Every structure is written in C-alpha cells, then in structure tokens.
C-alpha cells in the first residue's frame, strides 16, 4: 500500500522534541537581538531544555542566542541547537549540529539519536538505519529512536523488526499517541485492519485532536468497505483528502464503481485541479478496462 502514489500518507516520525512550524527569522541565531550575556550554567541549560520540551521554541531560541554568546564551546548548547533546528524542520542544519557533539557519553547518545532522526526526515534512510540502531544499543530507553526505527523498518517491509521497534517505543514512551499511530499504519500496511483500527482508536483516546490518527482510522474503515462511515462528519477542509483516501481504499479492494464515485467527489470537493485524485481516477479506469478486457478474452477463449 505504501508504494501507491495516491495515498495521502499520515505517518508521524517524531523528533526528539516534537515537530513545529518554522517561525519567522529574526536577528541572532534564533531570534534574540541585543541580548545580555549571562554565563552558561546548569540553570540556563535546564530552562532551555524545559522550553524545548514544552514546545516554546521562540523562548528556547532567545535563551540559546544569549547562551551562545558566552558559551559557544559548551557541547550542551550545540546539542540543544540541533534539537531546536530539528523541531523547526531545519533537518540539514540540525544534522550538522548533532555531528559536532562528540564529548560526554550521555550527550553523544542524544546526539546520535538526533543524527538518525534528522537523516530519516531528510529521506536518507539507508544512512539513518545504522545510526539509529547504534543509538538504540546505546540507550534502549529512548522511544524516539525506536519509533524512527519502526518507520524505517516499515518502509523496508521488515514487519517483524518494525513491530518489535514499536513495542519498545510504546513501552518506553508510556504509549505515546505518535507511536500508536505509526504502529497502526504499519498494521494497516500489512492489511491487519482490526489491529490497525485498535491502535488508531487508542491514539485518539490519548490525543483527541490527533488529525493523523483520525485520518488513518477513516482510511482503515474504508479498507473494510464501509465508505459511508469512513467519510461521515468530515470537515470542509479535510473533505477532498478523506474522499481521495476512501477512493484509493475502494480501488485497492477492487471496488471500482465505488472508487470512481468517491474520487469524483474528491475532485469536486477540491474546487480546483486535484492531481492526486485525478491520477487515482486514471488508475481506476485502467484497472477497470483491464478487467473488462480480460473478461472478454476469457469469453472468446471458450
């Protein structure tokens, strides 16, 4: 299923501190201008880490700017620079920051995890895999590492390894909704629909506004053939994408009439050219044509 172009993937690869939108660039490394220059101490490091953990990225960036002025040689700051860039989607910059952390074992373990996650998010999966496996060996309690490994194993169709990785991640994270969503998608990809649905429901119980898990649950329901339930109650914003995914599910099931109808609705709901749904619709027509031609040939053979 993952190889099909038309499916709107809603997998979540968690970074060390979560993902957030990029904020507008300002003066300084992360937004501070004319900042005072306090010395870098444990309290400053702890405050920056707390801001990162609580996704207050602007505050974390300002404090990092101030700390870097007086303590650029402190490897803890370089690690935090990498984590902030990772959260902001600056994966290449984050990767370079993590690579510069080569000091205390605990910091190096966190940097190794950051390197692997950044490589994964950059699409460099073959490079990321051994780095993440080393990170997991160094710190088996890091759920972010195991989650990232699960995603990579999924993309390699190594289902047993993926399942073990997600089990580690779920245990270490206290059943993070992000990991539950990813394991659910892994099970969906293996056509284990009931198990997949159970994971998405658990993720939504923990995080009711988790759009990815909700969309994945709708996709799972559509893969079971219940298209009406899969598309009921959708918002105007999500309507086109949900209808497209339901149409894709119908196509995967060989239900071409339903697929054509759902994809047509998706294109209409988009209100503009919807290339993904249009491509899926072309695939449906091609598959339907091949099926009819095959049926005609069989009749002629008799």
d(CA 211, CA 216): 8
**Which residues have a Cβ under 8 Å from the Cβ of 198 and sit 6 or more positions away?**
184
d(CA 297, CA 198): 43
CA dihedral defined by 274, 277, 279, 285, rounded to 10 degrees? Answer: -130
How many CB atoms neighbour CB 129 within 10 A? Answer: 18
Predicted pLDDT of residue 35: 40
d(CA 173, CA 176): 5
CA dihedral defined by 163, 164, 166, 169, rounded to 10 degrees? Answer: 170
d(CA 211, CA 235): 12
Contact criterion met (CB below 8 Å) for 208 and 181 = no
Read off the pLDDT of each residue in 109-121 and give the average, rounded to a whole number. 93
d(CA 123, CA 78): 23
pLDDT per position as a tens digit, 177-226:
999 999 999 999 999 999 999 999 999 999 999 999 999 999 999 999 99
Predicted pLDDT of residue 105: 82
d(CA 114, CA 131): 9
**If you search the block for the tokens 């649950």, which residue do you land on?**
217
Residue 32 has pLDDT above 70, yes or no: no
d(CA 281, CA 291): 15
Which of 27-31, 34-38, 41-45, 218-222 is most confident?
A: 218-222
SS (H, E, C) 27-80: CCCCCCCCCCCCCCCHHHHHHHHHHHHCCCHHHHHHHHHHHHHHHCCCHHHHHH
Lowest mean pLDDT among 10-19, 168-177, 193-202, 275-284: 10-19
246 class by beta-carbon count within 10 Å (0-12 exposed, 13-18 middle, 19+ buried): buried
pLDDT per position as a tens digit, 83-108:
999 999 999 999 999 998 877 788 88
d(CA 83, CA 110): 10
Contact criterion met (CB below 8 Å) for 31 and 58 = yes
Residue 249 has pLDDT above 60, yes or no: yes
Contacts 24+ apart (CB under 8 A), 230-238: 231/262, 238/211
**Which residues have a Cβ under 8 Å from the Cβ of 187 and sit 6 or more positions away?**
193, 195, 196, 199
Q: 55-73: buried (b, 16+ CB within 10 Å) or exposed (e) per residue?
A: eebebbbbbbbbbbbebee
Helix (H) or strand (E) holding 234: none
Complete DSSP assignment for 95-158:
HHHHHT--SSHHHHHHHHHHHHHHHHHTT-HHHHHHHHHHHHHH-TT-HHHHHHHHHHHHHTT-
């Amino acid at each position: 299923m993952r190889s099909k172009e038309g499916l709107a993937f809603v997998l979540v690869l968690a970074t060390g501190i979560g993902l957030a939108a990029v904020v507008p660039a300002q003066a300084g490394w992360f937004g501070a201008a004319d900042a005072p220059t306090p010395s870098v101490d444990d309290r400053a490091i702890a405050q920056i880490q707390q801001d990162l953990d609580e996704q207050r990225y602007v505050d974390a960036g300002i404090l990092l700017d101030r700390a870097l002025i007086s303590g650029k040689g402190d490897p803890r700051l370089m690690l935090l620079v990498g984590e902030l860039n990772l959260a902001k989607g600056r994966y290449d910059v984050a990767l370079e920051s993590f690579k510069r952390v080569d000091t205390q074992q605990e910091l190096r373990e966190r940097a190794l995890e950051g390197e692997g996650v950044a490589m994964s998010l950059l699409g460099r999966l073959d490079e990321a895999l051994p780095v993440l496996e080393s990170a997991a060996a160094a710190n088996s309690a890091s759920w972010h590492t195991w989650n990232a490994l699960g995603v990579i194993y999924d993309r390699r169709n190594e289902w047993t390894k993926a399942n073990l990785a997600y089990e580690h991640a779920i245990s270490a994270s206290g059943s993070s909704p992000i990991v539950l969503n990813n394991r659910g998608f892994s099970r969906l990809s293996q056509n284990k629909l009931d198990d997949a649905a159970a994971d998405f429901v658990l993720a939504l119980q923990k995080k009711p506004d988790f759009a990815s898990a909700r969309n994945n649950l709708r996709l799972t329901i559509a893969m079971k053939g219940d298209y009406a339930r899969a598309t009921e109650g959708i918002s105007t914003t999500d309507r086109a994408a949900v209808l497209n995914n339901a149409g894709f599910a119908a196509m995967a099931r060989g239900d071409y009439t339903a697929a054509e109808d759902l994809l047509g609705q998706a294109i209409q709901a988009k209100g503009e050219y919807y290339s993904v749904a249009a491509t899926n619709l072309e695939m449906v027509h091609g598959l339907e044509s091949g099926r009819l031609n095959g049926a005609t040939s069989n009749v002629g053979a008799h």
